[in-house]
Amino acid sequence: MTAKPKWFQTTAIDYPNSRPHIGTAFEKLGADVQARYRRMEGYDVCFLMGNDENTLKVADKAKELGLDPQAYCDDMARQFREVWDALDISYDVFIQTSSERHKQCCRKFAQKVYDNGYIYKGSYEGWYCPGCEEFKSDKVHAENAGQCPNHKRPLVRRSEPCYYFKLSAFKDRLLKELKENPQFVQPESRRNEMIGFIEAEGLDDLNISRHGEQWGIPLPFDPEFTIYVWFDALLTYITGIGYGDDEATFAKNWPCDTHFIGKDITRFHTHIWPAMLWAAGLDAPTKVFSHGFVTVDGTKMGKSMGNVVQPLDIIAKSSVDAYRYFFMRECPFPGDGDYSGQRFEEVYNTELANNLGNLLSRTITIPAKNYGGVFDGTAGVTPDAVVPNLNLAEFVATVRGHVEACRYNTALQAIVQDFLTPTNQYLEANAPWKLVKTDKEAAKKVLFNAVQSLRVTAILLKPFIPKSAEAIYTSFNFPTPWADVRYADAAELTAQPDDLRVTAELIDGKPKPLFPRIG
RNA sequence: GGCGGGGUAGCUCAGUGGUUAGAGCAAUCGCUUCAUAAGCGAUGGGUCGCCGGUUCAAACCCGGCCCCCGCUACCA
């Protein structure tokens, strides 16, 4: 027996200022489809997610609510997980950066980089607002005529000591990695941006410390300073799998096979993060995938816009799988997408209710009525292909390629248009509901073939809509247990040892609609 | 400003030189009634951003122009 290949993937960790919206969920969903697909394909998957808590905003928010920061963080973590669980996000590790374990490992990492000579003390000079007690960027300074936009008082030039990470030392190595390894940053457009950036601007050393903060992780070599948030946030990807305290688990999983992130933080993950890892003597991640953003009714979502949509609100009106299907089918994962209630209804009714759900209903009801749900004499019979001019093995290979490249919408489009719709056409062309009156055996064979199409469909849809795919699959007595099916099983039509039977629960001879129409 | 991507049917998009430019959704009409008022078929609808060039032939190649979007150091 050979060991399973490992697959380690992460999503970005989130600021727990407010509950997750559909944009945050988009990332988790895309990552989840990949994780589920990899598990199906026999990988030993570790899927890591978490919350990024060591930020001032979090401490402020807790204060505002009169809560201890830790209590606040723990409660938000609970709320986040509630949403992820409702969306069937199959994470294996959920890490909070305020956890003691993370902090300890974080300090170990910082010490290591310091010992390796990639952190040095310097000073940071910039425009400071005494009212805000923080530095403002040159941009803010320029745009507000040298005044603080909050306090309307002049910003003052100020210099304070800090610690720098020697990012510049990795410029050539990074450029080489970016250019020679196309998989390192996906999609391609983001990779080009990252290469272009270094070529145009070079790489400057980065201030990684803050001074005089209470909430945060102190630098091990100088406790006067805390580690600036993103430096510790990125480290969850390794502390979550045991860096610094469980080397066996860490060694097994690292390097990361895919970091799923939003396109806005691509630079952190493709410039700073690999450099940090190299500075500590570790490998860079294999792939960083930058997904697009979700808009609502064509406009950017935001608190100030008052158009924030939460996943649970959509699920309440439909179902988890409807939610998952919509975003994976309608929004190209590498690019941006839009959510609107109208479009949601359209996609749901057309593809899930009418096409898929109805197909299941009709292929259950006719056999149930005419054959008592048992396809006598089909044991050992190889099904006929239902879709003309389709090489099933090639088709499945195509879908697999789309899934592996995170082109989820294209994968689903292929499944619906090239497989599901033709199955409905096949039924129409052969009309088993008529044929059954003249040639019961022939009608049975037609239905048998159609049901086998549903088997293929259920397998292909498993990573996308796990519950519904299982409901379809277990509506019949297919021999391979659901937990064991792989895409390879969808690639061929084979005989089964027992007569095919309808195993779905029937009420008055009919199954419960899988996706009841909405609207 | 610089670098990158894009402008194709009402909507979302496919289509990198070769017959009358395609798909899905939406619209209209017909067939059907096994099924979730579901299914199937047909039809309408496009000066392929604008102008010029290369070519026997251009949505596709080249030049110019207009417009949109992304990146340009810390908001998924």
C-alpha span between A171 and A7 (Å, rounded):
28
Q: How many CB atoms lie within 10 A of CB A272?
A: 21
A156 within some domain: no
Span CA (A298) to C1' (B66), Å: 24
Res A133: pLDDT: 67
Res A108: pLDDT: 94
Kindly state whether residues A385 and A489 are assigned to the same domain.
Answer: yes
The answer to whether A185 CB sits below 7 Å from nucleic acid chain B is no
A127 within some domain: no
A139 pLDDT band (50/70/90 cuts)?
A: low
Is beta strand A222-227 parallel, antiparallel or unpaired with respect to A258-262?
unpaired
CATH of the domain at A398: 1.10.730.10
Kindly state whether residues A287 and A348 are assigned to the same domain.
Answer: no
> Is pLDDT of A160 > 90?
no
A252 within some domain: yes
A309-344 pLDDT tens trace: 999 999 999 999 999 999 999 999 998 999 999 999
A519 pLDDT band (50/70/90 cuts)?
A: confident
Q: Which of A13-17, A123-127, A156-160 has the highest mean pLDDT?
A: A13-17
ω into residue A255 within 30 of 0, thus cis? Answer: yes
- The tally of domains found in chain A comes to 2
Is beta strand A258-262 parallel, antiparallel or unpaired with respect to A6-11?
parallel
Q: At what angle do helices A408-415 and A320-330 cross, to 10 degrees?
A: 110
Closest by CA position to A252, among listed A21, A500, A432, A45: A45
Q: What is the ipTM of this complex?
A: 0.91
Name the 3-class secondary structure at A478: coil
Res A159: pLDDT: 84
Do A293 and A23 contact (CB within 8 A), yes or no? yes
Res A430: pLDDT: 96
Kindly state whether residues A235 and A375 are assigned to the same domain.
Answer: no
Q: Which of the 8 DSSP states describes residue A40?
A: H
End-to-end CA distance of chain A: 52
A203 within some domain: no
C-alpha span between A241 and A163 (Å, rounded):
27
> Is pLDDT of A153 > 80?
no
Res A389: pLDDT: 86
A488 within some domain: yes
Q: Which residues contact A458 (CB under 8 A, 6 or more apart)?
A: A469, A470, A472, A473
The answer to whether A370 CB sits below 7 Å from nucleic acid chain B is no
A18 pLDDT band (50/70/90 cuts)?
A: confident
> Is pLDDT of A1 > 60?
no
Span CA (A27) to C1' (B50), Å: 39
Which positions on chain B have an atom < 7 Å from some protein CB?
2-5, 13, 23-26, 33-41, 70-76
A305 pLDDT band (50/70/90 cuts)?
A: confident
A184 pLDDT band (50/70/90 cuts)?
A: very high
* Contacting residues 220-279/A vs strand B (CB within 7 A): 228-230, 261-265, 267
Kindly state whether residues A372 and A478 are assigned to the same domain.
Answer: yes
A424-455 pLDDT tens trace: 999 999 999 999 999 999 999 999 999 999 99
Of A296, A330, A353, which closes a domain?
Answer: A296
CATH of the domain at A14: 3.40.50.620
A79 pLDDT band (50/70/90 cuts)?
A: very high
Instruction: Give all strands (DSSP E) within A345-462, no chain letters.
Output: 374-375
Structural domain of A258: 6-117+229-296
C-alpha span between A489 and A5 (Å, rounded):
20
The answer to whether A17 CB sits below 7 Å from nucleic acid chain B is no
A410 within some domain: yes
> Is pLDDT of A487 > 90?
yes
Q: How many CB atoms lie within 10 A of CB A393?
A: 12
Q: Which residue has the tokens 């956890």?
A: A99
Average pLDDT in the A239-264 region? 95
Q: Find which nucleotide's C1' atom is closest to A436's CA.
A: B34
Q: At what angle do helices A56-64 and A69-86 cross, to 10 degrees?
A: 100
A350-404 pLDDT tens trace: 999 999 999 999 999 999 999 999 999 999 999 999 998 899 999 999 999 999 9
Span CA (A312) to C1' (B19), Å: 53
Kindly state whether residues A457 and A404 are assigned to the same domain.
Answer: yes
Q: Find which nucleotide's C1' atom is closest to A368's CA.
A: B34
The answer to whether A299 CB sits below 7 Å from nucleic acid chain B is no
A210 pLDDT band (50/70/90 cuts)?
A: confident
Kindly state whether residues A381 and A482 are assigned to the same domain.
Answer: yes
Kindly state whether residues A416 and A473 are assigned to the same domain.
Answer: yes
Kindly state whether residues A362 and A432 are assigned to the same domain.
Answer: yes
Res A93: pLDDT: 96
* Contacting residues 134-163/A vs strand B (CB within 7 A): 137
Q: Find which nucleotide's C1' atom is closest to A347's CA.
A: B25
A24 within some domain: yes
Kindly state whether residues A393 and A247 are assigned to the same domain.
Answer: no
A285 pLDDT band (50/70/90 cuts)?
A: very high
Residues composing chain A: 519
Kindly state whether residues A354 and A467 are assigned to the same domain.
Answer: yes
A310 within some domain: no
A109-130 pLDDT tens trace: 999 999 999 999 998 888 877 7
Kindly state whether residues A416 and A271 are assigned to the same domain.
Answer: no
Kindly state whether residues A290 and A375 are assigned to the same domain.
Answer: no
Average pLDDT in the A177-188 region? 92
Beta bridge partners of A491: none
